[in-house]
C-alpha cells in the first residue's frame, strides 16, 4: 500500500477503480482481451512497435544530418529499447497469459521500468526514466490513436487520476460516473477544485508525480477531507474507509431533514443561504438542498472548449433557464471571469508570464467590448424572466467599475431601441477579490448596489500566493489573520454605507469558518450546493452572541495555525464529533 499526501480541495471519501489520464491525456483502462483475440492483439502490438521504430529512425536521421551523430545518439538508444528482446517477450507474455490489452501491457511494463530509474540517484538515471516515458508515449499514440478522450464519455464509476485537467475537461465531467479526482499538479482555488467541489466530488490536487505507480482498473481511495490518496490499499484501510463512507451517507440523510428549515441562529437571526453554480443543471441541486437563491452563477462554461465565441442566443438560453427555474428567487450572475490564456478565440497574450496578474476577468472583458456586450445583452434579456442581479468580477479600480457600467448602459440602450424587455432596475454589484477593492470600498459603495467577497482570489492577492502552485500551496489559507482583517474591513464598510454584502468564496462553504463569519457580521453566505446542509446545521446550532465572541478572540490571534486550532476547538464544543 502507498499513502500519498496532496492538498484537500473538495471534501468526502471515494473508493473505486482508477482511470488514468497521463500528462498527454491517454486513458489507459485495465482492459482484458478474449482468448480468440490474442493473435490479433499481438499483431497490433508488433505494428505499433514497428511504427514507433520507423518514427524514431526518421528522427535520428534528421537530427544526425542537422546536428551530427553525437546528438542523434539519444535516438539510437531509443531504438535499442524499443526492440529490446526481453521487453518484447514481457509484453507478449502479458497479452498471452494474463490477457491484458497491448495498451495496458505497455503502460504497466514501461511504467515499472521508469519507476526503477526514478528511484536511483543521479541526473543520468533520471534521463533514462524520461527516455522510457518517451517510448511509452510513442507506443501508446500508435496503439490508441488519439489523446484526451472525453471524460464526458465515461460510462462506469471511476476515480480520475490525472497529471492535470483542463478547464474544458472539468466542465465536461459526468458526476454520475466520475466519483473522485486526483491531480499531480494544482492548488486550492484552481478551476478543477472549484468544479469538483461544486459537483460534490471528493478531490485532491498537488500530489506530485505518482501516475507511474498505479494502473487503470486498480482500487484507489481518495480522502478529500485529509488530502490523502491510497494506492493498492490493504484490507484494514479499505474497511476503515468503507465505514467512513457509510457514516457520510448517514450524516447526509440526517442533513436532508434541514432542507425546508431556515438557516436561523438560536437567537432568531436569519442567515440567507445561497448556492454557487457553474452549470444550469445545478439549479436542481440548490433546490434539493433548500437554497434561498443563487449567490454566484459562474458563466465561464459557455466559453470553454469552443473555437468560436458563444452567440447571444446561447447565453440567453442558459441564463433565462436558470432565472425561470428559480421561480422568483434571486440569481446573481457574474460576468466572464477567465484569463486570455483560456480563451481559444482570442490571441495568446504576448507577455503573460503570470496569468493571475495579467489579462483576465473584467480586464479581458473591457479589452474585448463586443464580446462583453453580447454577454451583457443576454443577461439583461434574461432579467425579464426572473430576479437577476449582475456582478462584475475582479474590480480593482473605480475606472474599471465605471467603464463596465458604461458598456452595460450601451447594452441597455440597444435593447430599449429594439423594444426588447429587460429589468431597467436590475441591481449591479461587484466582487471584492483584491485588497484595493477593500481599501477603496467606501468609494465603491457610492456606485455599486451590492458586494460579494470572493475569498478564492482575495487570499492569493492578499498573501501573494499563486493558488495553483503546489510549492507554495501550504501558504494559501483562509485562516491567515491578514485575510480575516480584510474580510472584517469589507463587512464593516458595507454596513456603514448600508450596502448588502455576502461571501461566495470557498471559505464560507467550510463549516470551520461559519461561526467566525457570522461573528464578523456576514448574514448572507453563498456556497456550493453540497455544502448548504452542513453550513445551515452550524447556523441553527449557535447564537450570534456566541459567534461574536469567537470573532473577537480570532481578531487577537497572530498566525493561521492559531486561528485554525481555535476554530476547531470552538466547533467541537457545538459538534463533539468534529475532529480537533
> What letter would DSSP give residue 100?
B
**CA 69 to CA 55: how far, in whole Å?**
17
Question: Torsion-angle region of residue 88: left (phi > 0), alpha (psi -120 to 50) or beta?
Answer: alpha
In the sheet where 158-162 sits, what is the strand order?
A: 2-5, 228-231, 219-223, 13-21, 158-162, 178-183, 203-205, 7-10
Which residues touch 289 (CB under 8 Å, ≥6 apart)?
259, 275, 529, 530, 532, 533
Query: Which listed residue (142, 191, 315, 385) is catalytic?
Result: 191
Residue 4: strand, helix, or coil? strand
For residue 397, what is its C-alpha cell? 479600480
Residue 539 annotated to the active site: no
**CA 73 to CA 77: how far, in whole Å?**
6
**CA 201 to CA 197: how far, in whole Å?**
6
**CA 316 to CA 313: how far, in whole Å?**
5
**CA 541 to CA 538: how far, in whole Å?**
5
**CA 114 to CA 43: how far, in whole Å?**
25
For the residues of 107-151, what is the DSSP string, one character each?
HHHHHHHHHHHHTS-SHHHHHHHHHHHHHHHHHHHHHH--S---G
Residue 369 burial by Cβ neighbours in a 10 Å radius (0-12, 13-18, 19+): middle
**CA 493 to CA 501: how far, in whole Å?**
10
Which residues touch 330 (CB under 8 Å, ≥6 apart)?
274, 292, 293, 294, 295, 387, 388, 389
Residue 153 annotated to the active site: no
**CA 445 to CA 63: how far, in whole Å?**
64
Query: Which listed residue (142, 286, 315, 504) is catalytic?
Result: 504
Active centre residues (catalytic): 191, 504
Amino acid at each position: 500500500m502507498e499513502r500519498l499526501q496532496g492538498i484537500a480541495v473538495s471534501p468526502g471519501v471515494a473508493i473505486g477503480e482508477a482511470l488514468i489520464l497521463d500528462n498527454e491525456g491517454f486513458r489507459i483502462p485495465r482492459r482484458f482481451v478474449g482468448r480468440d483475440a490474442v493473435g490479433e492483439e499481438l499483431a497490433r502490438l508488433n505494428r505499433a512497435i514497428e511504427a514507433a521504430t520507423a518514427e524514431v529512425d526518421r528522427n535520428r536521421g534528421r537530427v544526425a544530418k542537422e546536428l551530427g551523430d553525437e546528438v542523434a545518439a539519444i535516438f539510437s538508444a531509443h531504438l535499442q529499447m524499443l526492440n529490446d528482446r526481453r521487453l518484447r517477450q514481457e509484453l507478449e507474455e502479458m497479452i498471452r497469459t494474463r490477457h491484458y490489452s497491448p495498451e495496458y501491457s505497455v503502460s504497466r511494463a514501461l511504467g515499472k521500468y521508469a519507476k526503477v530509474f526514478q528511484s536511483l540517484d543521479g541526473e543520468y538515471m533520471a534521463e533514462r526514466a524520461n527516455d522510457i516515458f518517451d517510448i511509452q508515449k510513442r507506443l501508446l499514440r500508435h496503439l490508441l490513436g488519439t489523446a484526451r478522450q472525453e471524460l464526458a464519455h465515461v460510462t462506469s464509476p471511476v476515480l480520475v487520476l490525472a497529471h492535470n485537467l483542463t478547464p474544458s475537461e472539468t466542465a465536461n465531467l459526468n458526476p454520475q460516473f466520475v466519483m473522485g479526482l486526483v491531480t499531480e499538479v494544482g492548488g486550492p482555488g484552481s478551476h478543477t477544485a472549484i468544479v469538483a467541489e461544486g459537483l460534490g466530488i471528493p478531490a485532491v490536487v498537488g500530489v506530485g508525480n505518482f501516475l507511474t505507480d498505479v494502473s487503470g482498473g486498480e482500487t484507489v481511495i481518495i480522502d478529500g477531507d485529509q488530502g490523502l490518496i491510497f494506492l493498492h490499499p490493504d484490507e484494514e484501510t479499505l474497511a476503515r474507509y468503507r465505514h467512513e463512507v457509510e457514516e457520510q451517507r448517514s450524516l447526509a440523510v440526517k442533513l436532508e431533514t434541514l432542507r425546508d428549515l431556515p438557516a436561523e441562529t438560536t437567537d432568531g437571526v436569519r442567515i440567507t443561504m445561497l448556492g454557487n453554480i457553474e452549470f444550469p443543471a445545478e439549479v436542481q441541486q440548490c433546490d434539493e438542498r433548500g437554497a434561498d437563491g443563487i449567490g454566484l452563477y459562474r458563466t465561464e462554461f459557455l466559453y470553454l472548449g469552443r473555437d468560436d465565441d458563444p452567440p447571444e442566443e446561447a447565453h440567453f438560453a442558459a441564463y433565462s433557464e436558470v432565472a425561470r427555474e428559480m421561480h422568483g428567487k434571486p440569481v446573481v450572475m457574474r460576468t466572464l471571469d477567465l484569463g486570455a490564456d483560456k480563451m481559444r478565440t482570442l490571441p495568446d497574450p504576448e507577455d503573460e508570464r503570470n496569468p493571475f496578474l495579467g489579462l483576465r476577468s473584467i480586464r479581458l472583458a473591457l479589452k474585448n467590448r463586443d464580446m462583453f456586450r453580447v454577454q451583457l445583452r443576454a443577461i439583461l434579456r434574461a432579467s425579464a424572466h426572473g430576479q437577476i442581479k449582475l456582478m462584475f468580477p475582479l474590480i480593482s479600480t473605480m475606472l474599471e467599475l465605471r467603464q463596465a457600467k458604461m458598456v452595460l448602459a450601451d447594452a441597455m440602450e440597444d435593447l430599449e431601441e429594439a423594444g426588447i424587455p429587460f429589468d431597467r432596475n436590475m441591481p449591479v454589484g461587484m466582487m471584492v477579490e483584491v485588497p484595493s477593492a477593500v481599501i477603496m470600498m467606501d468609494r465603491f459603495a457610492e456606485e455599486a448596489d451590492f458586494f460579494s467577497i470572493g475569498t478564492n482570489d482575495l487570499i492569493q492577492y492578499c498573501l501573494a500566493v499563486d493558488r495553483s502552485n503546489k510549492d507554495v500551496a501550504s501558504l494559501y489559507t483562509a485562516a491567515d489573520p491578514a485575510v480575516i482583517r480584510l474580510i472584517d474591513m469589507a463587512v464593516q464598510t458595507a454596513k456603514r454605507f448600508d450596502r448588502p454584502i455576502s461571501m461566495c468564496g470557498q471559505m464560507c462553504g467550510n463549516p470551520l469558518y461559519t461561526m467566525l463569519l457570522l461573528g464578523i457580521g456576514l448574514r448572507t453566505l453563498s456556497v456550493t450546493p453540497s455544502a448548504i446542509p452542513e453550513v445551515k446545521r452550524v447556523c441553527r446550532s449557535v447564537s450570534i452572541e456566541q459567534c461574536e465572541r469567537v470573532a473577537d478572540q480570532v481578531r487577537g490571534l497572530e498566525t493561521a495555525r492559531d486561528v485554525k486550532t481555535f476554530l476547531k476547538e470552538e466547533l467541537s464544543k457545538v459538534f463533539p464529533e468534529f475532529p480537533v
